[in-house]
Structure 1
């Protein structure tokens, strides 16, 4: 029996145990170099469906309702799963790049795409029969039919996601964020006229809006694939090692399933929040206000996700390279950026709390309610940014399973019960539901902070090197 792989002291990159100011400055620059473009990339991806909803929504109230319902359902049942699973590549590709096992990046990426495609077929079956499912669940038949038709034309976008998201992680983990930025912005500029043409010129309505998303994501996949295939920057990393393919698929699901659980559990909770608001007194007001709060929070989270992606990449690269102390400095740099952006945007929101609501509604009642919830929303900004960064650390390190269990405890065992109790028993209504979200985020932040601060980073570096360099290709426990 072979001896277990261990990282010897002389294999570690020599780094001083004390965090020197110069080290932190270097990591701040590196994290910032990745975070700013990635925030823009995430915003561009986020705006693709938003633009379609805006264009379709101007046609009729029925189409707006159907598109909104379909967007919520497809996010929960499809897109969240795609985004979550590919979090495994932040561990595998990031650590492989740090370990200079360049050929494994391509194999991991191809295995992710090959694994995602069959899943898309299963999800597509649900989307094809979405209208019947929604009617069975008690939704309005007319709205359900619009939603079902919208979801059907959105199926190609699901397959586009199955390619785009792995390729995005493939480039991200190599620090190739500028090409990602160009591709994302190009796709967004392509999507705007495509959506307008299909909806207004060809008169396809909501179906045209969904088709525009599908065409845009397929276009996105093509330009990313072309860059990967022809760019000299990917010359070493786009290789495919057929002998490693099966073991790479196993590793992808080993880290992808808990990574998907991390994202989906949190994403689904917010969808449940909107559904619960419909059961409150004056459901129209409560749903409108909580939807505004959720949209505002999501827009801020996009920026935090850029910082989280940067931290995930730097942590994974440094662990793969056998530099655990530098990985710790990367975490500190990410937290510094989190503090700056969260304080800035929280202050901005609180200062503008009396006018933010007018961005979404002309109703004085809605605007005043949004202003009343703004202090809680500011607190969410701070907590969500903090947890986003530490979730990035989890993905970069390979302990997604801890993040998944943390979300179960924080949101479903603590946050959701507190929110429902405050909303329905204490009659705090929408404010009570959002208080539950804040409590859940606080619990999540505390647990992640304890885990991160108590982590043995030298051991994590050893496991990262074993995970990538070992020729056995066997799955191993993270911790």
Structure 2
């Protein structure tokens, strides 16, 4: 009897302990989710608003003509894809986040200025791809008619390339400190302004692609100027203390991490650029490119939401590693992946339910609508997969794994996914469906590998490396408030 009572007491004690642990875990999860959404929410709205500038432009041009829409799509997905070389600014995401965690706020403005130097020079290097877009596209055996329109448009949007060069580091500067609501408001206001500009220049005045380019140039310039005014207005007394010659110091280590960041992002983005190029070799390329570009616009729109979670998990991981809290960083990853995957499932369901109708947002041409609808299931699968993969990229940026992920991308995308795309699309004559299926298989393999790497990571070791990184690229002389400021 006594033994039974002891067993019951022991069971009750274990049950109470498990209940206490469950409540503690639930409270911890709830707290982390709130923190994550505090960063991800405005980041998502900002990303959606800024991406929608291009989305709105596509919608207006889609009602001008097939060739114009195809040309715009090629510029956005191929020529402007080179602007992801500005992903060199992602080094800022790693360093600023870890500096915030370590309490070195005085380094943030210096890091941003270093990033401006690097992305500005990168934009200059990339300018010839815009100037010679037409011959480049002809060399890639794209339609002559589309290449001609695309060549003109790409020259007109060169100012946007330099706007991206300044905007990317500004975003990372603000995100690393979880100061994104003003950026969100600016982006939403500019988006509404852009809709009006496009209507006036493209539809009312009938300037077509030229009107779209002018509208985009003005809108992106307003975004950059407004954000810069916010930064220098005195809202960041510790992080922004003015322009400094220290921005030109320690550039070698910064450039190395920047190159890894750019390579990681470029390989990721160019992989889907290959989809547009491969489809351009099929019969009736204008219809095929239009259909794929409509799907990619929707896919990138959904991806923008995942990128909000990616930015949030990058901030959380870099902040916590910089603060020497590896367990918190690991828990943040679990919360971010779960939340983004849930959003991905919802979007997948919406796309599958609206498959016959969503193309009508972009075009009223029956052939394009029919071809686009056929891609609905592949688009839904891509959206689901891309609700997880960017989060893992965000983890990589937060931890500083850009070089490792770049190697993974090369293997999964270019040695696995692309060959399958070519075989299915051309050898087995599945066309667009085959090409996209191959692309999707590479994404799936990459996601599985990154999940394995993340699970197997020693996060205590990552925290020590973050501490060393802050010391190396901060430097003893930079721990004090910067001097030599102009």
Q: Which moved more, 1:400-409 or 1:419-428?
A: 419-428
Find the aligned partners of 1:193 and 1:289 in 2 and give their Cα distance. 26
Unpaired runs of at least 5, structure 1: 1-15, 475-479
Offset at 1:109? 0.3
Of the three residues 465, 470, 473, the one matched with 1:463 is: 465
Task: Tell me what 1:103 maps to.
Answer: 106
Find the aligned partners of 2:189 and 2:404 in 1 and give their Cα distance. 37
Summarize deviations over 1:344-383 as a string: whole Å, max 9, x none: 1112222333433444455666656555543333322222
Assess, with a 3 A threshold, how the Cα gap between structure 1 residues 411 and 137 changes in structure 2: closer, same or farther: closer
Summarize deviations over 1:200-242 as a string: whole Å, max 9, x none: 566544223212211221111111111001142x111113584
Assess, with a 3 A threshold, how the Cα gap between structure 1 residues 201 and 430 changes in structure 2: closer, same or farther: closer
Assess, with a 3 A threshold, how the Cα gap between structure 1 residues 19 and 391 changes in structure 2: closer, same or farther: farther
Asked whether the equivalents of residues 408 and 446 of structure 2 are also in contact (C-alpha less than 8 Å), the reply is: yes
Assess, with a 3 A threshold, how the Cα gap between structure 1 residues 26 and 281 changes in structure 2: closer, same or farther: same
Task: Tell me what 1:22 maps to.
Answer: 27
Q: Which moved more, 1:24-33 or 1:141-150?
A: 141-150
Offset at 1:247? 4.1
Of the three residues 67, 70, 95, the one matched with 2:75 is: 70
Q: Are 2:231 and 1:228 aligned? A: yes
Task: Tell me what 2:47 maps to.
Answer: 42
Of the three residues 159, 171, 193, the one matched with 1:156 is: 159
Asked whether the equivalents of residues 100 and 319 of structure 2 are also in contact (C-alpha less than 8 Å), the reply is: yes
Assess, with a 3 A threshold, how the Cα gap between structure 1 residues 59 and 175 changes in structure 2: closer, same or farther: same
Offset at 1:409? 0.9
RMSD: 2.7
Assess, with a 3 A threshold, how the Cα gap between structure 1 residues 217 and 179 changes in structure 2: closer, same or farther: same
Asked whether the equivalents of residues 244 and 473 of structure 1 are also in contact (C-alpha less than 8 Å), the reply is: no
- Using the size of structure 2 for normalisation, the TM-score is 0.86
Find the aligned partners of 2:203 and 2:293 in 1 and give their Cα distance. 27
Task: Tell me what 2:84 maps to.
Answer: 80
Summarize deviations over 1:252-310 as a string: whole Å, max 9, x none: 32222122122211221212212212333554554343333322222211111111111
- Using the size of structure 1 for normalisation, the TM-score is 0.87
Find the aligned partners of 1:32 and 1:89 in 2 and give their Cα distance. 22
Task: Tell me what 1:213 maps to.
Answer: 216
Assess, with a 3 A threshold, how the Cα gap between structure 1 residues 401 and 282 changes in structure 2: closer, same or farther: same
Unpaired runs of at least 5, structure 2: 1-20, 477-486
Task: Tell me what 1:178 maps to.
Answer: 181
Q: 1:443-454, aligned counterparts within 5 Å?
A: 443-454=445-456
Asked whether the equivalents of residues 127 and 155 of structure 1 are also in contact (C-alpha less than 8 Å), the reply is: yes
Q: Which moved more, 1:136-145 or 1:205-214?
A: 136-145
Asked whether the equivalents of residues 259 and 400 of structure 1 are also in contact (C-alpha less than 8 Å), the reply is: yes
Asked whether the equivalents of residues 40 and 309 of structure 2 are also in contact (C-alpha less than 8 Å), the reply is: yes
Find the aligned partners of 2:240 and 2:223 in 1 and give their Cα distance. 18
Offset at 1:19? 8.1
Asked whether the equivalents of residues 101 and 469 of structure 1 are also in contact (C-alpha less than 8 Å), the reply is: no
Task: Tell me the SS of whatever aligns to 1:237.
Answer: coil
Asked whether the equivalents of residues 108 and 249 of structure 1 are also in contact (C-alpha less than 8 Å), the reply is: no
- The aligned length equals 455
Offset at 1:115? 1.6
Q: Which moved more, 1:348-357 or 1:174-183?
A: 348-357
Summarize deviations over 1:127-170 as a string: whole Å, max 9, x none: 22333444555555554443333222211111111111111110
Task: Tell me the SS of whatever aligns to 1:403.
Answer: helix
Assess, with a 3 A threshold, how the Cα gap between structure 1 residues 414 and 325 changes in structure 2: closer, same or farther: same
